[in-house]
Amino acid sequence: MRRYETIVIVDPDLGEEQREGVFDKIRELIPQKGGLLVEFDEWGGRKLAYEIKKKQRGYYVRINYCGGGDLVSEMERQFRIDDRVMKYMTILLDTEADMERIQEAMTQAEQEAEAAATASEPAESPETATEAVAEAAPVEAEPETSPESTDSEAKKEEA
């Protein structure tokens, strides 16, 4: 399974109900195609870097999910069809995402947030929860030292 991130810019003139219609489609599509929605982060209305469809502003949403190529193709097809979506961009975050580890990290973050709320302490910030999920992703191993550097170290030890 692969892990993706999609940024979607929706028309800012839409009402809350119309925007939720677009977002509900996405939330339903991911599990239908065998994916896992990791995070659905609404950034809200922001100024665009350049004018899109004669609009100066857009409503931004970041979607972090796991799935296959067919899921990404279907999501992007839905975005192209829907006039309420102004722009979108999908980025591949990880080619070998472990869905079970990610689900465990999400569950653990939820439990910690509940425990913090019941202990009447401030709730865990979304950034901390995101970091816990990010830690669940496999980390690439550091590159080994080159044979030349080990030879030079061995020569130093002999001297």
CA–CA distances in Å: residue 154 to residues 120, 142, 143, 145: 58, 22, 20, 13
In a 3-state reduction of DSSP, which class is residue 109? helix
- Residue 124 resides in a domain: yes
Which domain covers residue 16, as residue numbers? 2-96
Contact 38, 83 (CB under 8 A): no
Query: To the nearest whole number, what is the mean pLDDT of the chain?
Result: 80
Same domain, 55 and 78: yes
How many structural domains compose the chain? 2
What are the pLDDT digits (tens) for 93-113?
A: 988 877 778 878 878 888 888
What is residue 141's predicted lDDT score, i.e. its pLDDT?
46
Is the pLDDT at 79 greater than 90? The verdict is yes
What is residue 77's predicted lDDT score, i.e. its pLDDT?
94
Is the pLDDT at 34 greater than 50? The verdict is yes
